[in-house]
Amino acid sequence: MDRLFNTVRPYAWGSTTAIPELLGIAPSGEPQAEMWMGAHPGAPSRTERGSLNALIDADPVRELGPRSVEKFGPRLPFLLKVLAAGAPLSLQVHPDLAQARAGHAAEEAAGVPIDAPHRTYKDANHKPELICALTPFDGLCGFRAPAEAADLIAALGVDSLKPYVDLLHAHPEEAALREVLTALLTADPEEMAHTVAEATAAADRLGGAHAPYASLAHHYPSDPGVIAAMLLNRVRLQPGEALYLGAGVPHAYLDGLGVEIMANSDNVLRCGLTPKHIDVPELLRVVRFEPTDPTVLRPEASPAGEEVYDTPTDEFRLSRFARPEGAAPTDLTSPTPQILLAVAGRPKAGEVTLAPGESVFVPAGETAELSGAGTIFRATVVA
């Protein structure tokens, strides 16, 4: 197996302390948002044999195994991350596979440069994802019932928001949500800035259920995403709990440290809380305008001590081992590729001792045995 040397991405919303604390190193003072583990070309992990993407490109069947290559092609199907949100991320959605393929093909045919600010589809893949909390983790996920959103917005007492409240009481609910989000994103910027300022003052005064939106507004003043965020369910995860995000589900992470796994894609459509480009027509085509009740996932234990987070996605499978002192070794040998990430203790993967935040790549078919005490996340595929 290969010890991984991973890149930490310094996005502005990242925590300055959470990832350094996990790694046991001194903070640099700069935001450290995501530590990437995998073979994504944007920041591939490095090994003593070379970069992980180069190793896979040179011999995909050896590294990934025939099952994974046959099902997903000659690339690692998932990207594993440690994500540390010190400030809110943008409101966003991800396309399904058909939408991603069509959108990518259309932008390629139109000659839109891959690094253009207005480029939406960086690749032809979908991006389902799973976030598992390492600390208390705060986020937004899926639409509330429109009547609940209407009550939350109406309580602000802002006259310019009354038309949105009226729309949210209309039926069918899906059409009401679509109309309100469309109206928010296409409103006159100066008028919306004034509305958000009034809403922020009211949310500050009210506190309670409105406090998170006041905080959003202080990070993103004048942004219509502050009001759009009130359409979504607030979700708070405790350590060990997880949230699965499928295609078309609007979401945002607000605060906390977690392990995130996703299909190997960069396709993001933003809908607020960002200075970046928002493609409103494409966004409205991708978003699923249906009220949902987010399901908090808790792992299902197996006799071998593996706790699995069950999702409908085959590109990744995330599980966890919480190994006490004296636990018997566990054989993880698999016909599919694996990344093992330690988050507590000093467990061993084969002969490699892993401190918190350290990881290894295990090629398909290679003997892999866990020993020692600690908490380890295992990322692999369903093939």
- Which of 82, 80, 93, 137 has the alpha carbon at shortest distance from 246? 93
| Residue 84, CA distances (Å) to 14, 81, 130, 343, 353 in order | 6, 10, 14, 14, 24
Contact indicator for 88, 273 with CB cutoff of 8 Å:
yes
Contact indicator for 309, 318 with CB cutoff of 8 Å:
yes
Whether residue 270 lies in the annotated active site: yes
Tell me the residue type at 93.
V
3-state SS of the chain is: CEEEECEEECCCCEECCHHHHHHCCCCCCCCECEEEECCCCCCCCEECCEEHHHHHHHCHHHHHCHHHHHHHCCCCCEEEEEEEECCCCCEEECCCHHHHHHHHHHHHHCCCCCCCCCCCCCCCCCCCEEEEECCCEEEEEEECCHHHHHHHHHCCCCHHHHHHHHHHCCCCHHHHHHHHHHHHHHCCHHHHHHHHHHHHHHHHHHCHHHHHHHHHHHHCCCCCHHHHHCCEEEEEECCCCEEEECCCCCEEEEEEEEEEEEECCCCCEEEECCCCCCCHHHHHHHCCCCECCCCEECCEECCCCEEEECCCCCCCEEEEEEECCCCCCEECCCCCCEEEEEEEECCEECCEECCCCCEEEECCCCCCEEECCEEEEEEECCC
Selected catalytic residue, list 9, 49, 144, 270: 270
Tell me the residue type at 343.
V
Residues taking part in catalysis: 270
